[in-house]
Structure 1
Amino acid sequence: MIPSMVRKQIDNFSLEQICLSGQCFRMKQEDGEENRYSLIAGDRYLEIEQQGNVNTFYCDEETFEHFWKDYFDLERDYADCIGRINPRDTYLADAASFGAGIRILRQDLWEMIVTFLISQQNNIVRIRRCIQNICEAYGEERTDGRGRLYYGFPKPEALAGLDEDALKACNLGYRSKYVVRAARSVVSGEIDLEAVRRMSYKKAREELLKLFGVGEKVADCICLFALHHLQAFPMDTHMIQALNAHYKRGFPNRRYKDIKGIMQQYIFYFELFGKK
């Protein structure tokens, strides 16, 4: 059986850079296949192959049009965003050039709440392992296009009834109580995810900050990577160091107010991988 596939020519799109950008932790390079990646988003599984700017999505056209095209933000002109960078800002221009294939993904709100609660004081390798552990323990079993088993992301209902320390068995440590309490808040209706999805950036951020364990950086990550509020500008130690070194008077927020989150990702990725 020939698998369904959709082939698209896309500029400013790099599977490697997206995978390493710190926004998506269920995407990985397939073993022994340099240009092929797999991705689990919620309960959906996708494989993608990239040769230059030609990308093959192993799914049917309808699924691509109604889910993956939006997920990867493929209708936004990222070259235009890069073109708006002040030419005198050589640091940001270099960062954008280095990470020009990054896209801001439109991910599931609940998955991002859990993901970035887990991300606190953590590294990318361990975050991936923690998420894999909770998915295998509490997610629903699925099979991919090759008949291989994978696990969907656990629903709030699957976690809300747990003891607050139960997820320590999944290597979450003290973050276990954050995730369990967040699940309880969603299941009880204390936090209405559908309502949060409809809120402005400011209101959504305020609502997310009500969750136990969610601080400003985590709230901004959720706003950026789940709700696609491109005004969000998450600040961690890498970003603080970059801004202290290159923006003594502060980041030029007004110039990039509607695409600050894209600029943040260029800086973050450059700080992680672009410095010699």
Structure 2
Amino acid sequence: MIEKTINYFDISQIINSGQCFRMGKKENNTYFVIAGDKYLEISQVGKQCSFYCTEQEFKNFWEHYFDLDTEYEGYRKCINPRDAYLMNAAEFGSGIRILNQDLWEMIVSFLISQQNNIVRIRKCIQNISETYGEKKQTEDGRVYYAFPEAEALAGLEEDELKKCNLGYRSKYVVRTARSVVNGEISLSQISEMPYKKAKEELLKLFGVGEKVADCICLFALHQTAAFPVDTHINQALKRHYPKGFPKRRYKGCEGIMQQYIFYYELLGKE
């Protein structure tokens, strides 16, 4: 177990921020995270966090995954103090960090996310992981499933994933898996591209539009210049930024501001 005191980190906020769909609450202050083929449990009370893993695994994977080597106070300080809406949004979602996630997993996750809600997306991803992913087991005997590789999905019929509740999105995922396996698109090359070029490549994938491409750039490639616009963001922009979001002021961290706004729109008004 690794114990850390971390500012600007709230695992419950990250779980509900729409970045990742294989996280959840277990009990009391304990949460679980599945990323790729890894499983982690976290307990958090205030700033005190307990990561139930070895120090080596924490250093080699989870520290980077949670973006813990980035100081988020600087992002908060750059917010225009006269922008009361964004100040409130950043305060409400002050524990959100942009995760460093697997590119392939994020491509599939956000293909599935289209015209969908978070609860259903989580269930779809759970279904395909349990059906096509490798069965894994923690040291204490907990069973979980790795996210399926592209090779596991590329040979399926285009409608096969409807059995996992993907609906019309089934063909998006299967065709994209084939593109990866056939070498039509290189995930490793996209990982090295700057934001605009990476987005351009992602838009070539069947079923990937502007919003999905930006989500992948932000949540997989950690390209924080990406600013995904979905229904929640669009409504916020119309109400609070009718002339457009001031991206020039937030150049390089637009995606972090987007997450504050998205989370505030999703949960801050309840």
Normalised-by-shorter TM-score class: over 0.9
The yes-or-no answer on 1:247 pairing with 2:241 is yes
SS in 2 for 1:265: helix
Q: Give the superposed CA RMSD.
A: 0.6
Identity fraction in percent: 67
CA distance in 2, matches of 1:151, 1:62: 22
Matched residue, 2:25: 29
CA distance in 2, matches of 1:165, 1:58: 39
Matched residue, 2:134: 140
CA distance in 1, matches of 2:233, 2:177: 29
Using the TM superposition, give the Cα deviation of residue 221 of structure 1 relative to its aligned residue in structure 2, in angstroms: 0.2
SS in 1 for 2:201: helix
Aligned to 2:155, which of 155, 161, 165? 161
Matched residue, 1:89: 83
Question: What amino acid is aligned across from residue 15 of structure 1 in structure 2?
Answer: I
The yes-or-no answer on 1:112 pairing with 2:106 is yes
CA distance in 1, matches of 2:106, 2:81: 34
CA distance in 2, matches of 1:81, 1:147: 40
SS in 2 for 1:106: coil
Task: Write out per-residue CA displacement over residues 167-197 of structure 1, whole angstroms, 9 at most, x where no aligned residue.
Answer: 0000000000000000000000001000000
TM-score (norm 1): 0.97
SS in 1 for 2:15: helix
Task: Write out per-residue CA displacement over residues 3-24 of structure 1, whole angstroms, 9 at most, x where no aligned residue.
Answer: xx11110010001100000011
Using the TM superposition, give the Cα deviation of residue 249 of structure 1 relative to its aligned residue in structure 2, in angstroms: 1.3
Aligned to 1:13, which of 6, 9, 14? 9
Aligned to 2:215, which of 203, 207, 221? 221
Using the TM superposition, give the Cα deviation of residue 34 of structure 1 relative to its aligned residue in structure 2, in angstroms: 2.1
Task: Write out per-residue CA displacement over residues 71-130 of structure 1, whole angstroms, 9 at most, x where no aligned residue.
Answer: 000011111101110000000000000000001000000000000000000000000000
CA distance in 1, matches of 2:28, 2:249: 38
Aligned to 1:197, which of 187, 191, 194? 191
Question: What amino acid is aligned across from residue 176 of structure 2 in structure 1?
Answer: A
Question: What amino acid is aligned across from residue 80 of structure 1 in structure 2?
Answer: G
CA distance in 1, matches of 2:76, 2:138: 36
Q: Matched residue pairs, number?
A: 270
CA distance in 1, matches of 2:45, 2:139: 21
Question: What amino acid is aligned across from residue 270 of structure 1 in structure 2?
Answer: Y
Question: What amino acid is aligned across from residue 11 of structure 1 in structure 2?
Answer: N
Aligned to 2:50, which of 48, 52, 56? 56
CA distance in 1, matches of 2:139, 2:88: 39
TM-score (norm 2): 0.99
CA distance in 1, matches of 2:82, 2:196: 31
CA distance in 2, matches of 1:228, 1:272: 22
Matched residue, 1:123: 117
Question: What amino acid is aligned across from residue 27 of structure 1 in structure 2?
Answer: M
Using the TM superposition, give the Cα deviation of residue 275 of structure 1 relative to its aligned residue in structure 2, in angstroms: 1.3
Q: Single out whichever of 76-85 and 196-205 deviates more from structure 2.
A: 76-85
SS in 1 for 2:136: strand
Task: Write out per-residue CA displacement over residues 3-60 of structure 1, whole angstroms, 9 at most, x where no aligned residue.
Answer: xx11110010001100000011000000xx2210001000000000001101000111
Matched residue, 2:267: 273
CA distance in 2, matches of 1:120, 1:34: 32
- Unaligned runs of 5+ residues in structure 1 are none
SS in 1 for 2:196: helix
Question: What amino acid is aligned across from residue 83 of structure 1 in structure 2?
Answer: K
CA distance in 1, matches of 2:6, 2:175: 41
CA distance in 2, matches of 1:27, 1:275: 23
Runs of 4 or more above 4 Å deviation: none
- Unaligned runs of 5+ residues in structure 2 are none
